[in-house]
């Protein structure tokens, strides 16, 4: 878990100051059927919100924890990240993820083993979900940077 947390912190610290220097035209450029870079960042906000709830709820919810999916496309559209002020969007993304880092640092090994049942009935553990969250974040940050 230690390596995932270090990677996570590096991604956050490198990009909180990088994203604001991107040109608004680049951030808001749209290709039909695809999210803009700004909307990808908004998707990362939605992901952070849902995973923050998951990472905390698992501590007191009935076991095994039932993973609830969310409609990513609808959330990006409903939250209208495309027209949101980029600095506010970056702050929201950064602060939510800093809280997730704090949660990840505080989790003990026993909790990392808690079982999670996905909607397709696949069973994973919290450690996998947290590590996968960092990989997901890295993937989308790389899309924004490309």
Q: Order of strands, edge to edge, in the sheet holding 123-125? A: 65-66, 115-117, 123-125
Find out whether 71 and 47 touch, Cβ atoms under 8 Å. Answer: no
CATH topology classification for 2-145: 1.20.120
> pLDDT tens-digit profile of 42-101?
999 999 999 999 999 999 999 999 999 999 999 999 999 999 999 999 999 999 999 999
- Specify the pTM: 0.96
- E-only strand ranges, 7-96: 65-66
User: What is the predicted pLDDT for the residue at 79?
Assistant: 97
Q: Is 91 helix (H, G, I), strand (E, B) or coil?
A: helix
> pLDDT tens-digit profile of 10-44?
999 999 999 999 999 999 999 999 999 999 999 99
- E-only strand ranges, 21-144: 65-66, 115-117, 123-125
Structure tokens at 129: 């979900």
Domain map of the chain by residue range? Answer: 2-145
């Amino acid at each position: 878990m230690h390596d995932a947390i270090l990677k996570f912190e590096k991604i956050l610290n490198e990009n909180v100051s990088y994203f604001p220097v991107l040109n608004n035209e680049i951030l808001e450029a749209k290709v039909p059927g695809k999210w803009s870079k700004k909307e990808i960042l908004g998707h990362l906000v939605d992901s952070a919100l849902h995973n923050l709830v998951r990472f905390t709820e698992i501590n007191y919810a009935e076991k095994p924890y039932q993973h609830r999916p969310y409609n990513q496309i609808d959330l990006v559209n409903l939250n209208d990240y495309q027209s949101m002020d980029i600095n506010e969007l970056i702050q929201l993304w950064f602060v939510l993820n800093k809280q997730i880092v704090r949660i990840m640092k505080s989790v003990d090994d026993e909790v990392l083993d808690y079982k999670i049942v996905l909607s397709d009935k696949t069973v994973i553990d919290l450690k996998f979900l947290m590590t996968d969250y960092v990989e997901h974040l890295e993937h989308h940050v790389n899309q924004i940077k490309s």
